[in-house]
Amino acid sequence: SQELEQSPQSLIVQEGKNLTINCTSSKTLYGLYWYKQKYGEGLIFLMMLQKGGEEKSHEKITAKLDEKKQQSSLHITASQPSHAGIYLCGAATGANNLFFGTGTRLTVIP
Amino acid sequence: DAGVIQSPRHEVTEMGQEVTLRCKPISGHNSLFWYRQTMMRGLELLIYFNNNVPIDDSGMPEDRFSAKMPNASFSTLKIQPSEPRDSAVYFCASSPLGGLGGNTIYFGEGSWLTVV
Protein backbone atom coordinates (compact mmCIF):
# COMPACT_ATOMS: atom_id res chain seq x y z
CA SER A 1 0.00 0.00 0.00
CA GLN A 2 1.11 3.54 -0.59
CA GLU A 3 2.44 5.56 2.33
CA LEU A 4 2.88 9.26 2.81
CA GLU A 5 5.42 10.51 5.29
CA GLN A 6 5.55 14.09 6.41
CA SER A 7 8.43 15.82 8.11
CA PRO A 8 8.85 17.35 10.50
CA GLN A 9 5.95 16.22 12.65
CA SER A 10 5.96 19.55 14.41
CA LEU A 11 7.68 22.84 13.86
CA ILE A 12 8.03 25.97 15.98
CA VAL A 13 9.36 29.09 14.29
CA GLN A 14 9.72 32.74 15.10
CA GLU A 15 7.49 35.09 13.17
CA GLY A 16 9.23 36.29 10.04
CA LYS A 17 11.26 33.13 9.53
CA ASN A 18 11.05 30.87 6.50
CA LEU A 19 10.18 27.20 6.83
CA THR A 20 9.78 24.06 4.75
CA ILE A 21 7.57 21.03 5.23
CA ASN A 22 8.22 17.84 3.29
CA CYS A 23 5.98 15.06 2.06
CA THR A 24 7.42 11.83 0.70
CA SER A 25 5.56 9.03 -1.02
CA SER A 26 6.59 5.42 -1.34
CA LYS A 27 5.12 5.37 -4.85
CA THR A 28 4.72 7.73 -7.79
CA LEU A 29 1.99 10.23 -7.20
CA TYR A 30 -0.85 10.92 -9.61
CA GLY A 31 -1.42 14.15 -7.79
CA LEU A 32 -0.30 15.80 -4.59
CA TYR A 33 -2.58 18.04 -2.53
CA TRP A 34 -1.73 20.38 0.30
CA TYR A 35 -4.31 21.28 2.92
CA LYS A 36 -4.20 23.38 6.06
CA GLN A 37 -6.24 22.63 9.17
CA LYS A 38 -6.81 24.80 12.17
CA TYR A 39 -7.88 23.25 15.45
CA GLY A 40 -11.60 22.64 15.49
CA GLU A 41 -12.02 23.36 11.83
CA GLY A 42 -12.07 21.52 8.56
CA LEU A 43 -9.37 21.22 5.93
CA ILE A 44 -8.71 24.19 3.73
CA PHE A 45 -7.36 23.44 0.26
CA LEU A 46 -4.08 25.18 -0.49
CA MET A 47 -2.63 23.79 -3.70
CA MET A 48 -2.56 20.79 -5.99
CA LEU A 49 0.40 19.59 -8.03
CA GLN A 50 0.22 17.03 -10.81
CA LYS A 51 3.24 17.35 -13.06
CA GLY A 52 6.79 16.42 -12.21
CA GLY A 53 8.77 19.55 -11.48
CA GLU A 54 5.64 21.62 -11.01
CA GLU A 55 5.70 24.58 -8.66
CA LYS A 56 2.83 26.75 -7.48
CA SER A 57 2.66 29.77 -5.25
CA HIS A 58 -0.09 31.54 -3.38
CA GLU A 59 0.77 34.59 -1.35
CA LYS A 60 3.72 33.48 0.79
CA ILE A 61 3.28 29.76 0.31
CA THR A 62 5.07 27.79 -2.43
CA ALA A 63 4.62 24.11 -3.14
CA LYS A 64 6.83 21.98 -5.37
CA LEU A 65 6.62 18.45 -6.72
CA ASP A 66 9.85 16.74 -7.71
CA GLU A 67 10.50 15.33 -11.16
CA LYS A 68 9.94 11.75 -10.02
CA LYS A 69 6.61 12.76 -8.47
CA GLN A 70 7.42 11.13 -5.16
CA GLN A 71 8.31 14.10 -3.03
CA SER A 72 6.74 17.47 -2.42
CA SER A 73 7.73 20.43 -0.32
CA LEU A 74 5.73 23.32 1.07
CA HIS A 75 7.69 26.47 1.75
CA ILE A 76 6.42 29.45 3.72
CA THR A 77 8.28 32.71 3.43
CA ALA A 78 8.28 35.26 6.25
CA SER A 79 5.93 33.23 8.43
CA GLN A 80 3.10 34.91 10.34
CA PRO A 81 0.95 33.76 13.25
CA SER A 82 -1.88 33.26 10.75
CA HIS A 83 0.15 30.47 9.15
CA ALA A 84 -0.09 28.37 12.31
CA GLY A 85 -2.01 25.12 12.02
CA ILE A 86 -1.65 21.58 10.79
CA TYR A 87 -0.46 21.09 7.24
CA LEU A 88 -1.52 17.88 5.53
CA CYS A 89 -0.37 16.46 2.25
CA GLY A 90 -2.76 14.21 0.39
CA ALA A 91 -1.95 11.83 -2.43
CA ALA A 92 -4.22 10.91 -5.28
CA THR A 93 -4.03 7.23 -6.06
CA GLY A 94 -5.03 5.70 -9.34
CA ALA A 95 -8.44 5.20 -7.80
CA ASN A 96 -10.85 7.96 -7.10
CA ASN A 97 -9.78 8.87 -3.62
CA LEU A 98 -7.27 10.80 -1.61
CA PHE A 99 -5.29 9.58 1.37
CA PHE A 100 -3.26 11.72 3.74
CA GLY A 101 0.01 11.99 5.56
CA THR A 102 0.08 12.33 9.32
CA GLY A 103 0.42 16.10 9.21
CA THR A 104 2.88 18.74 10.38
CA ARG A 105 1.88 20.97 13.27
CA LEU A 106 3.22 24.49 12.76
CA THR A 107 3.47 27.02 15.58
CA VAL A 108 4.54 30.58 14.80
CA ILE A 109 5.73 32.61 17.77
CA PRO A 110 5.02 36.33 17.52
CA ASP B 1 -21.40 29.49 -2.45
CA ALA B 2 -22.17 27.13 0.39
CA GLY B 3 -19.49 24.60 1.13
CA VAL B 4 -19.90 21.07 2.39
CA ILE B 5 -22.32 21.19 5.30
CA GLN B 6 -22.12 18.71 8.14
CA SER B 7 -24.29 18.14 11.17
CA PRO B 8 -24.10 17.90 14.05
CA ARG B 9 -20.87 19.80 14.67
CA HIS B 10 -20.49 18.23 18.09
CA GLU B 11 -22.08 15.18 19.63
CA VAL B 12 -21.58 13.46 22.93
CA THR B 13 -23.30 10.13 23.33
CA GLU B 14 -23.25 7.14 25.60
CA MET B 15 -21.72 3.87 24.57
CA GLY B 16 -24.23 1.64 22.84
CA GLN B 17 -26.29 4.46 21.40
CA GLU B 18 -26.84 4.99 17.70
CA VAL B 19 -25.10 7.95 16.12
CA THR B 20 -26.07 9.48 12.78
CA LEU B 21 -23.87 12.04 11.08
CA ARG B 22 -25.19 14.02 8.14
CA CYS B 23 -23.64 15.67 5.14
CA LYS B 24 -24.78 17.91 2.33
CA PRO B 25 -22.18 18.06 -0.45
CA ILE B 26 -21.51 21.06 -2.64
CA SER B 27 -24.19 21.36 -5.30
CA GLY B 28 -23.08 19.81 -8.57
CA HIS B 29 -20.44 17.60 -6.99
CA ASN B 30 -20.92 13.95 -7.80
CA SER B 31 -18.32 12.40 -5.53
CA LEU B 32 -18.72 12.28 -1.78
CA PHE B 33 -16.22 11.07 0.80
CA TRP B 34 -16.36 10.26 4.51
CA TYR B 35 -13.13 10.54 6.48
CA ARG B 36 -12.30 9.97 10.13
CA GLN B 37 -9.54 11.81 11.95
CA THR B 38 -7.90 10.70 15.19
CA MET B 39 -4.66 11.57 16.89
CA MET B 40 -3.39 8.02 16.56
CA ARG B 41 -4.30 7.28 12.97
CA GLY B 42 -4.57 10.68 11.36
CA LEU B 43 -7.06 11.19 8.55
CA GLU B 44 -8.50 7.96 7.16
CA LEU B 45 -10.85 7.45 4.25
CA LEU B 46 -13.88 5.43 5.32
CA ILE B 47 -15.98 5.31 2.17
CA TYR B 48 -16.66 7.25 -0.99
CA PHE B 49 -19.55 7.53 -3.41
CA ASN B 50 -19.76 8.42 -7.08
CA ASN B 51 -23.20 9.45 -8.31
CA ASN B 52 -24.73 8.21 -5.04
CA VAL B 53 -23.22 4.74 -5.48
CA PRO B 54 -20.69 3.45 -2.93
CA ILE B 55 -17.46 2.75 -4.79
CA ASP B 56 -15.04 1.77 -2.06
CA ASP B 57 -16.01 1.03 1.53
CA SER B 58 -12.86 -0.85 2.45
CA GLY B 59 -12.04 1.80 5.02
CA MET B 60 -15.21 1.24 7.02
CA PRO B 61 -13.87 -0.22 10.26
CA GLU B 62 -16.63 -2.60 11.23
CA ASP B 63 -20.18 -3.67 10.53
CA ARG B 64 -21.25 -1.17 13.16
CA PHE B 65 -20.54 1.51 10.57
CA SER B 66 -22.81 2.13 7.60
CA ALA B 67 -23.13 4.94 5.10
CA LYS B 68 -25.86 5.86 2.67
CA MET B 69 -26.38 8.41 -0.03
CA PRO B 70 -30.06 8.38 -0.98
CA ASN B 71 -29.71 11.34 -3.33
CA ALA B 72 -27.13 13.72 -4.74
CA SER B 73 -27.54 16.24 -1.95
CA PHE B 74 -27.48 14.12 1.19
CA SER B 75 -25.45 11.42 2.86
CA THR B 76 -25.42 9.82 6.30
CA LEU B 77 -22.82 7.93 8.28
CA LYS B 78 -24.31 5.79 11.01
CA ILE B 79 -22.63 4.03 13.91
CA GLN B 80 -24.70 1.45 15.74
CA PRO B 81 -23.89 0.63 18.47
CA SER B 82 -21.32 3.29 19.24
CA GLU B 83 -18.18 2.57 21.29
CA PRO B 84 -15.69 4.88 23.03
CA ARG B 85 -13.03 4.06 20.42
CA ASP B 86 -15.28 5.63 17.79
CA SER B 87 -14.59 9.04 19.30
CA ALA B 88 -13.05 11.11 16.52
CA VAL B 89 -13.72 13.92 14.10
CA TYR B 90 -15.68 12.74 11.08
CA PHE B 91 -15.27 14.75 7.91
CA CYS B 92 -17.42 14.73 4.84
CA ALA B 93 -15.93 15.97 1.57
CA SER B 94 -17.08 16.31 -2.03
CA SER B 95 -15.60 16.82 -5.46
CA PRO B 96 -16.80 17.01 -9.05
CA LEU B 97 -17.27 13.75 -10.89
CA GLY B 98 -14.02 12.42 -12.25
CA GLY B 99 -12.70 12.59 -8.75
CA LEU B 100 -9.10 13.46 -8.69
CA GLY B 101 -8.40 14.05 -12.35
CA GLY B 102 -7.33 17.49 -11.41
CA ASN B 103 -10.34 18.11 -9.22
CA THR B 104 -10.06 19.33 -5.68
CA ILE B 105 -11.79 17.67 -2.75
CA TYR B 106 -13.57 20.17 -0.52
CA PHE B 107 -14.06 19.36 3.14
CA GLY B 108 -16.78 20.20 5.60
CA GLU B 109 -15.91 21.46 9.06
CA GLY B 110 -16.33 18.06 10.63
CA SER B 111 -18.50 16.40 13.23
CA TRP B 112 -16.78 15.98 16.60
CA LEU B 113 -18.00 12.75 18.16
CA THR B 114 -17.34 11.75 21.75
CA VAL B 115 -18.62 8.40 22.97
CA VAL B 116 -18.55 8.02 26.75
Q: What is the pLDDT of residues A9-54, one digit of tens each?
A: 999 999 999 999 999 988 888 788 999 998 778 899 999 998 889 9
> Percentage of chain B with pLDDT > 70?
94
> Percentage of chain A with pLDDT > 70?
94
A contacts of B42 (beta carbons < 8 Å):
100-103
Nearest CA in chain B to A100: B43
Cβ neighbourhood burial of A100 (10 Å; 0-12, 13-18, 19+): buried
Give B44→chain A minimum CA distance, Å: 7
**Is the pLDDT at B17 greater than 60, yes or no?**
yes
> B81 and B18 in contact (C-beta within 8 Å)?
yes
Chain A CB within 8 Å of residue B56 CB: yes
Higher pLDDT, B75 or B42: B75
The Cα–Cα gap between B50 and B99 comes to 8
pLDDT in tens, B35-59: 999 988 888 989 989 899 998 888 8
Using alpha carbons only, what angle is made at residue B74 by residues B91 and B13, rounded to the nearest 5 degrees? Answer: 50
B contacts of A90 (beta carbons < 8 Å):
105
CB within 8 Å of B54: residues ≥ 6 apart: B47, B48, B67, B69
